[in-house]
A and B are shown apart, each in its own frame.
Chain A
Amino acid sequence: MGLRSRQGKFNIPIALAFSSAGEGLEHEEGPVQMAVRLLKTLMVAGAVAFVAPAASALADSPAGFYYGADSFKPTATGSSVPYKEPTVGGTFGGYAAEVWTFADQAGCSTSRAVNTTDVGDANANTQQSGPTGTALFYFMGGPGSDPQYNASHPSASEAYNWGYNQAYYAYKYYVAHGPTAYQPIMFMDIENPGNGTFQGWDEETDKCGSRTGTTPIPSSIDRQTFNGFYNEIFANTPFYPGVYARQDYWNATFGTGSNGSLPSTKEWTSQSHNVIAIPGPSRWCTIGACAQWFGGAPSSNEIEWQWAIALSGDYDQIDSSNAF
């Protein structure tokens, strides 16, 4: 409802203005020409109406909700506070930067998905009341990516230790190299990237993420790795632990029982999502997609939703009332 209301309010005047400026009646026309002109006008008006949110500074809604981004792109716009969300408009309310990955830690790669402009702009926007700033995420390896993982006899303590150490190094890397995070949440990025590499939650991999085995991993073992990471962040850093995942992937990996239960973890979901950013969502829904949470998370832990994974980047929505 909120979305449709915004479109009706802003787009009709824009369409009329475009029509009158571009289609002046400078000569006489017959019925056919008039029909064609009207049709062209309507088509242009429709197109403008479709993209109008990009040109207008629409805010997310309801109060406390903001648009944001993560990883490499999109990049916030503007030259001063408040920086704006690209494509859909509104205040750039938050950003999530990749602090490091388990493959980086193993020396397999060195890249981090960080947009330094977004880091600065998101943090700067916290000068205003509401925006949450930059948070962090760590592309995490499951127990199957631990070089010491034994698929025949998986060890709970080994799995726990594997997660704990990842958190330890994630934070140490942050201390040494940033980026500055004004939103003190460290998300575990738990996913199957789908690009031929794996994270070791449901399979065995080498230290760089190449699959080496397909023996199923018990959800209880996965949970140990999760808990190890959680505990290190919770107990020994100024950050609060969070998790990024899809609901279906989470359920398939951790189950829907106690091993998948998330009573006290800040949550960032990417399910479901669109492949274009527009229209921006209102609350946790937009046309074609709504946020689907997982692990039975209480609503107070519903922090962020990646509503669009588009060619222009990852678009997120943040509920600042649940953030720090």
Chain B
Amino acid sequence: MTRSTPAMHSSVRPTGLLPGSLARFIRRLLIPAALGVVAMGLTACGALGSAAALPATTTTTSAEAECASQSLSVSSEPLESAGPSFLVFTLKNTGIASCTMSGVPSLTITDAAGNVVSTPQQTPATSPHSGAPLSSSPVDLASGGAASYWVEFIPCEAPANDDSTAASLSASGVTSGAPLSVPFQATPGCQTLIVSPVVSGVVDPPGFTAGGPAPAPIPPGAESKVQAEKAANPSGANSASARSASARSCAARRGRPAAVGIRVRPRRMRCYAAAKSP
């Protein structure tokens, strides 16, 4: 879903930010940058947070804009740990009344010049967490409610247009929208982005709000034992007959054309199994 479709405008509530507020907000947050960023924009007016200043070290950030008579905050929580880099974006309605969003969120990959490289059409239907698909009908975000989304970088499999690819994640049609932008450090170069809505709607998702206690590392001794056992037992799927079905599924999927630079979580999963040796 792109940010300027008529459908999005039609879903927007009539009240919203003043143009002056919008301009101030844009000036404050949207600073062109060379590195890739993800920006979450409330884009009913067609504004897109395409690039923003990158902090040297990303920390949880938040910004607020009006959503009718309420406030809507957006925050991100970078989770630096082993494995893929990913972020959790949370849209939270801090006001006293509900706020209607549609097309939550839409994800757009742009190149350094702001040209759209790729846009997913819908969120994975198989996700159990997709309260609303990427291009969805309006979602009411109740007062105090929140919607969270994963954004994940994994090693690039299909190089994007250039090394300075930027990504813009936009929640469309929240109101007559001020763009909210939460920049974070993205590894320069080719990226594959995954976005997965966790919960859309009226409650805080239980697991993906910021501030949870991170676990201490697994003791090296125990972890090395696990690695040794995995190395001694590379069979992975634990059952030859079951592996073959997954492999067939993945092989079939490989024949499909893939969106440039974008993969959506559940579809990615199937190919992991086939990639492992039995």
Contacts and interface: CB of A to CB of B under 8 A. Distances in A.
Main secondary structure on A side of the interface with B: helix
A157 interface: yes
B213 to A, nearest CB: 5
A220 B216 contact: no
Which of A107, A123, A156, A261 has the most B CB atoms < 10 Å from its CB? A107
B57 interface: no
A146 interface: yes
Contact of B207 (A126, A162, A177, A240): A177
A184 B242 contact: no
Nearest to A159: B245
Nearest to A177: B212
Nearest to A174: B215
Query: Interface size class for chain A?
Result: 35 or more
Interface stretch (A55-63, A69-77, A231-239, A310-318): A231-239
Given A231-B273, A236-B272, A240-B230, A265 B245 contact: no
Nearest to A237: B83
Contacts of A78: none
A104 B205 CA distance: 9
Given A107-B203, A230-B237, A168 B269 contact: yes
Contacts of B128: 102, 105-106, 141, 146-147, 162, 165, 207
A182 B219 contact: yes
Contact of B226 (A160, A180, A230, A239): A239
B208 interface: yes
A100 B206 CA distance: 10
A175 B79 contact: yes
A161 B129 contact: no
B208 A176 contact: yes
Contact of A160 (B207, B215, B235, B273): B273
B242 A220 contact: yes
Interface string B119-143: 0000001111101000000000000
B218 interface: yes
A147 B128 CA distance: 6
Interface in B86-141: 86, 88, 125-129, 131
Interface string B134-164: 0000000000000000100000000000000
A227 B215 contact: no
Given A107-B199, A182-B219, A259-B241, A176 B129 contact: no
Query: Interface size class for chain B?
Result: 35 or more
Given A106-B129, A158-B126, A324-B222, A227 B246 contact: yes
Contact of B237 (A141, A172, A178, A227): A227
A161 B276 CA distance: 15
Contacts of B276: 231, 235
A79 B125 CA distance: 51
B82 A107 contact: no
B257 to A, nearest CB: 18
Nearest to B265: A165
Given A161-B266, A175-B215, 13 more contacts: A156-B245, A157-B245, A157-B248, A160-B245, A168-B265, A176-B207, A177-B215, A230-B238, A231-B237, A237-B83, A239-B226, A258-B241, A261-B238
Contacts of A238: 82, 218, 223, 226-227
A177 to B, nearest CB: 4
Interface string B192-225: 0000000101010111100011111011001101
Contacts of A161: 126, 266, 269-270
B238 A227 contact: yes
B19 interface: no
A160 B246 CA distance: 7
A68 interface: no
A220 B207 contact: no
B131 A107 contact: yes
B277 to A, nearest CB: 11
Interface string A105-126: 1110110000000000001001
Interface string A205-227: 00100000000000010011011
A183 interface: yes
B272 A184 contact: no
